[in-house]
Amino acid sequence: MQTKVTPYGNTTKTKKEEVEEMFDNIAHRYDFLNRLLSLGIDRSWRKKAVAYIGEIKPKQILDVASGTGDFAFDALRIQPEKVIGYDISDGMLKYGREKAQKMGVSNIVEFVKGDSEKILFEDNKFDAITVGFGVRNFEYLEDGLSEIYRVLKPGGRLAILEISLPTNTFVRFFYDIYFSHILPFVGRIFSRDVRAYTYLPESVKAFPQGLAFVQILNTTGFKNVEWKALTLGTCALYTAEKHEAS
């Protein structure tokens, strides 16, 4: 069973409410810190995920837990008709919309506020769905995955990127130093929210890794579920498909 880790440990609020508050707090520096703390490698991770969904030439794409829209904008390279960036944080969506306007793609990339565990769209709507570093923030993981399955078209593809724990002992040693000490320190300097960058490593450690998450995706109903470790095991790409309609 997944251990529930919350951003602030506030027993009067749900995890969902705390996650929304946290991302509202850090939205103004999120893109800068994301590039800095990932050393820009996150772009190559998204490129691999987009290449996977691009094989079926999706016209309608949903980017769940979209934040400021990095995944949604990267998906434009496969020329979809529409990309919906879906997120619970008004603060993050505000910056996503501003970026879309500056890029001149507001007619293609649209941002919608909503709960990932109660997605606001009808069944079988999207050809492909992406989630970048967001599933570990779901309050009820299986509920969120079931909703993703519901709105994905039969034969549609899902690509999930998530931070992971390296299995190599040598790599893990330096990873833990970076994740547990350097990352929170840098986050404290540049962000208003000190807790956000200690929650990140805690939530990663509590999240099902590798085959454990593959099993959850299989149980949800997805087929052809696979996972691949990226960049020395610091990130995982999970790919899956929805069964064709019978």
Percent of the residues in the chain that have a pLDDT greater than 90, as a whole number? 79
pLDDT for position 184 = 86
Q: In what order do the strands lie in the sheet with 152-163?
A: 109-113, 82-87, 60-64, 126-132, 152-163, 235-241, 223-230
Q: What is the rounded CA–CA span in Å between residue 235 and residue 240?
A: 17
Enter the pTM of the model: 0.95
Residue whose C-alpha is closest to residue 78's, from 47, 45, 124, 44: 47
Q: State yes or no: pLDDT of 13 exceeds 70.
A: yes
CATH class of 15-241: alpha beta
Res. 1 pLDDT band, cuts 50 70 90 = very low
If one compares 200 and 225, the residue with the highest pLDDT of the two is: 225
68-119 pLDDT per residue, tens: 999 999 999 999 999 999 999 999 999 999 999 999 999 999 999 999 999 9
202-239 pLDDT per residue, tens: 999 999 999 999 999 999 999 999 999 999 999 999 99
131-176 pLDDT per residue, tens: 999 999 999 999 999 999 999 999 999 999 999 999 999 999 999 9
Three-class SS string for the chain? Answer: CCCCCCCCCCCCCCHHHHHHHHHHHHHHHHHHHHHHHHCCCHHHHHHHHHHHHHCCCCCEEEEECCCCCHHHHHHHHHCCCEEEEEECCHHHHHHHHHHHHHHCCCCCEEEEECCCCCCCCCCCCEEEEEEECCHHHCCCHHHHHHHHHHHEEEEEEEEEEEECCCCCHHHHHHHHHHHHHHHHHHHHHHCCCCCHHHHHHHHHHHCCCCHHHHHHHHHHCCEEEEEEEECCCCEEEEEEECCCCC
pLDDT for position 2 = 54
38-55 pLDDT per residue, tens: 888 999 999 999 999 999
pLDDT for position 195 = 83
- What residue ranges do the domains of the chain occupy? 15-241
54-74 pLDDT per residue, tens: 999 999 999 999 999 999 999
